[in-house]
Amino acid sequence: MKWGYLEKELGQSGEVKSRQVDFRVLAATNKNLSQEVDKGSFRKDLYHRLNVVTLRLPPLRERDGDIPLLIEHFLAKNNLPVDMEQLNIDHLLDHHWPGNVRELENEIRRYTSVADLMDGLSRWDKESEESDSGKLTEMEKRRIIGAIRKANGKQEAAELLGISLATLYRKIKVYGLEL
């Protein structure tokens, strides 16, 4: 690409015709670019092209009043059905947030993913006939009963459970289920 900075034109290399452009560059960094220029790790000419207006936005740890607003924004943006009261806002306010807003958004996504998973497990447990007694065998018995009731026949129940028909018959006999 060739640039006509003052002419506000740009075109592909080898192209005869250029296009009129009008754009601005908005760049963000967590570095002090003037110090980086002084150290020689950032190009001075690029710094002067970019440094028209400088805005300093304090890190999230210095703007804890923004955290509830950002949480609401991320929940709405990602269509996440979590009530603000379910979140541990105090924990989120106390966190240092070295990753700033991106870290907060990822934390909200993680929380809502876990909340969705727990909600799914809760719904699955409510569909069970009895509450879990804590024993693996009781849970297995409930799953077998539930699968048989949902299925059209024992073959389909075995498929729902991910076991063979012979295994299903053996488990019915072991648990003394009369179905």
Radius of gyration in angstroms for the set of CA atoms belonging to the chain, rounded to a whole number = 30
Selection from 24, 12, 16 nearest residue 49 by Cα: 24
- Pair 151, 164: CB distance under 8 Å: no
Q: Has residue 152 got a pLDDT over 80?
A: yes
The CA distance from 95 to 160, in Å, is: 44
For residues 6 and 55, which has the higher predicted lDDT (pLDDT)? 55
Q: Which of 86-95, 130-139, 145-154 has the lowest mean pLDDT?
A: 130-139
Q: What mean pLDDT is predicted for residues 58-75?
A: 86
Residue range 20-46: mean pLDDT, rounded: 89
Q: What is the dihedral of CA 14, 18, 21, 24, to 10 degrees?
A: 30
Helix (H) and strand (E) counts in the chain: 8, 3
pLDDT tens-place string over residues 71-130: 888 888 877 666 666 566 777 778 888 888 888 888 887 776 666 555 555 555 555 544
- CATH domain 60-124 topology: Helicase, Ruva Protein; domain 3 (1.10.8)
Under CATH, which number does the domain 129-174 receive? 1.10.10
Question: Which sign, positive or negative, has the C-alpha torsion 33, 39, 40, 44?
Answer: positive
More confident residue, 3 or 148: 148
111 φ/ψ angles, rounded to the nearest 5 degrees: -60, -45
Which residues make up the CATH 1.10.10 domain(s) of the chain?
129-174
**Which stretch of DSSP H or E encloses residue 113?**
helix 100-127
Distance of CA 128 to the CA centre of its chain: 30
List where CATH 1.10.8 sits in the chain.
Answer: 60-124
Identify residue 136 by its one-letter amino acid code: L
Give the span between the Cα atoms of 24 and 43, in whole angstroms: 19
